[in-house]
């Protein structure tokens, strides 16, 4: 079964940084936009960022814009989410997934377009 694998989560103090990784096969990175999502306890899953397969363009939610950066390294088949200036409200389990309907990220993408969800990696931001 195809699945993406997230890693890099952990505990950090407010203002700190973490870099999450999403390992995927070559064909997934070449063919599909990759999205990052998060789900905090008791809350719905939230789209965080997306990086396109077609042109590498990126999108961010307003809550992380200017603090998070998504990137892709095709040589190692991995998508990264660099998270800086972390806040307690960033605490969540972070997931990556592939958008099987799009090569390019668009704002109107819906979660149901995504597949190959990983198990997630937990991020905790607290003092």
59/104 Cα distance (integer angstroms)? 10
DSSP state of 127: -
How much of the chain exceeds pLDDT 70, in percent? 99
79/28 Cα distance (integer angstroms)? 11
The string of pLDDT tens digits covering residues 48-59 is: 999 999 889 999
The string of pLDDT tens digits covering residues 67-83 is: 999 999 989 999 999 99
When the pLDDT of each residue in the chain is averaged and rounded to a whole number, the result is: 94
Provide mean pLDDT across the span 102-114: 91
Name the phi and psi angles at 30, rounded to 5.
-80, -25
Q: Which residues, including other chains, have CB under 8 Å from residue 104's CB and lie 6 or more apart? A: 33, 52, 53, 54, 55, 57
């Amino acid at each position: 079964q195809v699945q993406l694998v997230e890693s890099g989560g952990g505990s950090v103090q407010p203002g700190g940084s973490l870099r999450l990784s999403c390992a995927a096969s070559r064909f997934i990175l070449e063919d599909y936009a990759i999205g990052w999502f998060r789900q905090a306890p008791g809350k719905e899953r939230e789209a965080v960022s997306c990086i396109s397969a077609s042109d590498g363009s990126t999108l961010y939610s307003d809550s992380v814009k200017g603090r998070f950066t998504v990137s892709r390294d095709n040589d190692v088949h991995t998508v990264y989410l660099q998270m800086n200036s972390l806040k307690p409200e960033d605490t969540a389990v972070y997931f990556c997934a592939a958008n099987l309907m799009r090569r390019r990220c668009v704002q109107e993408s819906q979660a149901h377009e995504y597949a190959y969800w990983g198990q997630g990696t937990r991020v905790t931001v607290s003092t």
